Chains A and B, each alone.
Chain A
Amino acid sequence: MTRPVALVVALLVVLPACGRDQPRSLAVSEITAYAPLPGQPSGVAYFSLRNAATSAVILQHVTSPEFALVEMHTTLMDDGMSRMMALDSMTIAELSTIEFAPGGTHLMLMRPHDGLSVGDRVTLEFHYRYDGQDEGLLAVRAQLRSR
């Protein structure tokens, strides 16, 4: 089998697993990923997460090959106090956008693999599902920045 034909066959096998009945409608934009500060175990990522579908999406978790652990956190402000809370999952309503932004919801990029530094490109993998049925994976690339 020639290489182009093999690629088409591979896509036909993989695509159905990404959700037969839904268009690819989860999108990440305006991503900013900060490398861990010197001596610190975690970096952080901010972005816009858009669900352009007509049904809700549940973001189950996020992984990255470059970090041992990625967690969704939100910073809660309570009478001038900042408190951090981990989120197990997140529901993004149909046709809506959630902002991951400083002082609010953010991704913790924890325990980077050895050698990772500012300027390196990393992959963030968003694991999601629609209405408890089809599962999907959205992978985006980002370049680590310094503060």
Chain B
Amino acid sequence: MPRSRLILVATVVALVIGLALFLSGHLTGSGARPLHATVLPEALPLPDFALYDHHHEPFSRDSLRGRTSLLFFGFTHCPDICPATLQQLALARKQIAESGEPATSLPQIILISVDPERDTPEKLGQYVSAFGDGITGATGEPAVLRELTSALGIFFEKEASGGAGYTVSHSTAVLVVDEEARLRALFSAPHKTEFFVHDVPLLIDAFATTRPAAR
């Protein structure tokens, strides 16, 4: 075979292989994967729970159905990690919206307060509204919070902080719950806005492809 024809055949073969690899990656979705979240090998259905939100309305497992939720457990007197995380989540959702994601696909952001003693619905409402629209604050009876957090691997502990005050040590993970109210993934601290911006849309797409069939 002439040398020029050999080069032509090799080039065509390389192009075909390259195209096949590109298409297989594209079609299976393996071209873009979450880089920062830890994805659970199996979806974990949340237990039912009875909390209340910052509008004094009941907040339960059913409140999480219908769209993806980003759950963070904290408290309003927390001056550092809680506002920083909520600010990052709110900014990430804004950037995801600006990238063209339909409003109905945007995740809802939920702060579950582990300090119900101080975090009344009014305080929660004031607090979450400082980070923009669409953030829900919820809390409830300590026993209910204990049961829910235990099921999700979240810990919190009230601690003295000197004087008459107290602080609450708590887990800093952001949990990703799908529209069937199942825990699917989590982000561990330290958090960065760009981590959420990159991973959350990919997770939402992946959840859509693995949604249980309607009965």
Contacts and interface: CB of A to CB of B under 8 A. Distances in A.
Q: How large is the interface on A (under 10, 10 to 19, 20 to 34, 35 or more residues)?
A: 20 to 34
A82 B170 contact: yes
A75 B131 contact: no
A81 B114 CA distance: 13
A84 B79 CA distance: 10
26 contacts: A34-B83, A37-B83, A38-B127, A38-B129, A39-B76, A39-B127, A40-B77, A40-B127, A42-B79, A44-B79, A77-B190, A80-B173, A81-B155, A81-B157, A81-B172, A82-B78, A82-B169, A82-B171, A84-B78, A84-B80, A84-B167, A102-B80, A102-B81, A102-B84, A106-B80, A147-B86
Nearest to B159: A83
A80 B76 CA distance: 19
Nearest to B191: A103
B175 to A, nearest CB: 12
Given A86-B161, A147-B131, A43 B79 contact: yes
Interface string B77-105: 11111011011000000000000000000
Interface string A21-43: 00000000000001001111111
A83 B159 CA distance: 9
Contacts, number: 78
Contacts of B76: 37, 39-40
Interface of A: 34, 37-44, 73, 75, 77, 80-84, 86, 102-103, 106, 108, 146-147
Q: How large is the interface on B (under 10, 10 to 19, 20 to 34, 35 or more residues)?
A: 20 to 34
B189 A103 contact: yes
Interface of A is mostly: strand
B161 A77 contact: no
A103 B84 contact: yes
A83 B80 CA distance: 11
B81 A103 contact: yes
A65 B51 CA distance: 41
Contacts of A108: 79
A42 B161 CA distance: 14
List of 10 A-B pairs having minimum Cβ-Cβ separation, nearest first: A102-B84, A38-B126, A39-B126, A83-B169, A44-B79, A82-B172, A42-B79, A82-B81, A39-B123, A37-B130
Given A81-B172, A147-B87, A75 B80 contact: yes
Contacts of A38: 126-127, 129-130
A41 B81 contact: no
A86 B167 CA distance: 11
B188 interface: yes
Given A37-B130, A73-B80, A102-B81, 13 more contacts: A38-B129, A39-B122, A44-B80, A75-B80, A77-B190, A80-B172, A83-B169, A84-B167, A84-B169, A86-B161, A102-B80, A108-B79, A146-B130
